[in-house]
Amino acid sequence: MATTTAEREQWGSRIGFVLAAAGSAIGLGNIWRFPYVTAENGGGAFVVVYLACILLICLPYLFAELALGRNSQKNPVGAITAIKKGTPWTLVGGLCVLTGVFILSYYGVVAGWALGYIFKAFVAPGVESSTYFASFVADPWTVIPLAALFMLITISVVYGGVEQGIERWAKVLMPILLVLMLVVIFRSVTLPGSGAGLEFYLNPDFSKIDGEVLLAALGQAFFSLSLGMGAMITYGSYLPKRENLLVSGGYVALFDTTIALMAGLMIFPALFAMGRDPGAGGPALIFEVLPEVFATMPLGSFISAVFFVLLSIAALTSMVSLLEVVVSYFVDETTWSRAKSVWLVGGFTFLMGLPSALAQGGSTYLTEGVSLFGVTGFFSIMDYIWGNVSLALGALLISIFAGWVWGTGNAMEELQQGSGDFFTGTTARIWSIFLKYICPLVIAIIFVGKVMREI
Ligand code: TRP
């Protein structure tokens, strides 16, 4: 990864980049966030809208972020100023960095929960899982040290460089996660009463789609693919020219979407088999449902521990990418060293995460006393503003920047390098129409519709 020396470091190989970018994309967003957002937004119909967003908006947009990054060899702020110096567009880069800090702040809290749950099956066997979760997350002396520990691990990885440690691990561990998820899916769909869950998840009821659902699906798609705040600009900046951005980006989107859909298959059949109300779970959903599923499996405690180890690692590779964006900004644009940037940003973000850590029962005020835009609780407000609205806004502005200011011609030229004959003629033209018109328009319409309803 980046060093402070003049030579910009690059990924070792294509598979190295695909894994690192997939590692960024695959995380709590797929396994923790996707199921509960799906549940809150009506199930199957949400999934259809989500898939449409991935294919029609996120994929074309992903290529633009990668092209911007590889072309400029810079962080989001640097990439924008390299193309257009001294304009308000720089602020868009600033928004990216800020969004990174805030997503990281509450993401680290949930990562801490996952870390703590590695031991759950051993410390609390047989305890009703929703009761356990409520008291677990409400205890500041549990969640804060766990979040701190997780941040320290993230800091040490970003400090030491991703290539040697994380990339090598991810290669072995992510396939294990996939296999384990298949095992859990098998258990979940064979529980009595699970059919209703499959029905809820896979049979779309299109009457449930409204402006709220559209924004939630769009936001979830950006969040899951790590888009809208320049993470893929930063990761693209470490790519060599011979790399085929389209194929690599396509793989990342495919892996990410597969894991998210599988997470739904783990959760919904079990949820309905347990007779729970899908909309009521919220951020607690997987932490309440999965332990119950593990409890019905042979070697359940062991499987539970392994699962949460793997989930923590998936969260770690995502946290690394969030921190890397902010750190690469400070390394590229200020005189700070990598070490100083990593420690200051990591420490600051941890402190910013404290209110989120206390917002699941630790502090009554932060849990239920605050609300904004119809969202209650500090944690959910942060997730809504930064994990949803801000990503969509960032993507809107970056797609306008790439499509209109930098120009689709330049972007296309960058994408063509390394992609052979694959990206010429009609394919390229269709892509530029998506980037220039469809992406910004659709995002803007969903946005404006939502804001109009708010006021
Ligand atoms: N995509 C990650 C997940 O699904 C989270 C994440 C990492 C992210 N980097 C990001 C989200 C950048 C938005 C922007 O868990």
pLDDT in tens, 195-238: 999 999 999 999 999 888 999 999 999 999 999 999 999 889 88
Give me ligand 1 centre to Cα 424, in Å: 31
User: Does residue 365 lie in a domain region?
Assistant: no
Give me ligand 1 centre to Cα 321, in Å: 8
User: Does residue 165 lie in a domain region?
Assistant: yes
Please compute the mean of the pLDDT values over residues 284-292 and round it to a whole number: 93
Higher-scoring residue by pLDDT: 223, 328: 223
- Cα(213)–Cα(348) distance, integer angstroms: 33
Assign 258 a pLDDT band (cuts: 50, 70, 90).
very high
Model confidence over 335-347: pLDDT tens digits?
A: 999 899 999 999 9
pLDDT value of residue 455: 63
Q: Which atom of ligand 1 is nearest to the CA of 228?
A: 14
Crossing angle of helices 44-53/211-224, nearest 10°? 60
Residue 23: which domain range?
Answer: 14-351+380-454
User: Does residue 1 lie in a domain region?
Assistant: no
Assign 161 a pLDDT band (cuts: 50, 70, 90).
low
pLDDT value of residue 20: 80
Please compute the mean of the pLDDT values over residues 294-321 and round it to a whole number: 91
In this model, does residue 180 exceed pLDDT 60?
yes
Within 10 angstroms of residue 244's Cβ, the number of other Cβ atoms is 18
Mutate to test the pocket of ligand 1, among 322, 325, 391 (most ligand atoms within 8 A of CB): 322
Mutate to test the pocket of ligand 1, among 312, 321, 327 (most ligand atoms within 8 A of CB): 321
Pocket of ligand 1 (CB under 6 A): 24-25, 27-30, 103, 223-224, 226, 229, 231, 318, 321-322, 391
User: Does residue 37 lie in a domain region?
Assistant: yes
Model confidence over 428-443: pLDDT tens digits?
A: 999 999 999 999 999 9
pLDDT value of residue 167: 67
Q: Which atom of ligand 1 is nearest to the CA of 28?
A: 15
* Percentage of residues of the chain with pLDDT beyond 70: 95
| CB of 310 closer than 8 Å to CB of 176 | yes
Assign 163 a pLDDT band (cuts: 50, 70, 90).
low
Nearest 5°: phi and psi at 294?
-60, -35
pLDDT value of residue 211: 87
Give me ligand 1 centre to Cα 246, in Å: 20
User: Does residue 373 lie in a domain region?
Assistant: no
Which residues are bridge partners to 375 per DSSP? 372
Give me ligand 1 centre to Cα 217, in Å: 15
Assign 1 a pLDDT band (cuts: 50, 70, 90).
very low
Strands (E), 222-305: none
345 is written with which tokens? 């940003």
Model confidence over 98-122: pLDDT tens digits?
A: 999 999 999 999 999 999 999 988 8
CATH code where residue 297 lies = 1.10.4160.10
Assign 12 a pLDDT band (cuts: 50, 70, 90).
low
User: Does residue 221 lie in a domain region?
Assistant: yes
Give me ligand 1 centre to Cα 221, in Å: 10
What is 158-226 written as a DSSP string? Answer: HHH-TIIIIIHHHHHHHHHHHHHHHHHHHHHHTSTTTHHHHHHHHS--GGG--HHHHHHHHHHHHHHTT
User: Does residue 359 lie in a domain region?
Assistant: no
Please compute the mean of the pLDDT values over residues 293-308 and round it to a whole number: 90
- Cα(375)–Cα(368) distance, integer angstroms: 10
Residue nearest to atom 10 of ligand 1 (CA): 226
Model confidence over 241-253: pLDDT tens digits?
A: 888 999 989 999 9
Please compute the mean of the pLDDT values over residues 361-375 and round it to a whole number: 86
In this model, does residue 162 exceed pLDDT 60?
no
Q: Which atom of ligand 1 is nearest to the CA of 322?
A: 9
User: Does residue 363 lie in a domain region?
Assistant: no
Three-class SS of residue 372? Answer: strand
In this model, does residue 5 exceed pLDDT 50?
no
In this model, does residue 165 exceed pLDDT 60?
no
* CB proximity list for 443: less than 8 A, separation 6 or greater: 57, 218, 392, 395, 396, 399
Q: Which atom of ligand 1 is nearest to the CA of 27?
A: 15
In this model, does residue 410 exceed pLDDT 80?
yes
Please compute the mean of the pLDDT values over residues 378-405 and round it to a whole number: 95
Residue nearest to atom 4 of ligand 1 (CA): 29
Q: Which atom of ligand 1 is nearest to the CA of 24?
A: 7
Q: Which atom of ligand 1 is nearest to the CA of 30?
A: 4
* CB proximity list for 357: less than 8 A, separation 6 or greater: 109, 112, 140, 143, 144, 147
Mutate to test the pocket of ligand 1, among 103, 226, 286 (most ligand atoms within 8 A of CB): 226
Give me ligand 1 centre to Cα 115, in Å: 18
pLDDT value of residue 262: 97
Residue nearest to atom 13 of ligand 1 (CA): 226
Assign 414 a pLDDT band (cuts: 50, 70, 90).
very high
Q: Which atom of ligand 1 is nearest to the CA of 227?
A: 14
Give me ligand 1 centre to Cα 201, in Å: 23
Assign 359 a pLDDT band (cuts: 50, 70, 90).
very high
Give me ligand 1 centre to Cα 230, in Å: 11
Please compute the mean of the pLDDT values over residues 335-362 and round it to a whole number: 94
Average pLDDT, the chain: 90
Chain CA centroid to CA 340, Å: 26
Give me ligand 1 centre to Cα 107, in Å: 9
Assign 265 a pLDDT band (cuts: 50, 70, 90).
very high
Residue nearest to atom 7 of ligand 1 (CA): 318
Q: What's the structural domain count of the chain?
A: 1
- Cα(156)–Cα(178) distance, integer angstroms: 26
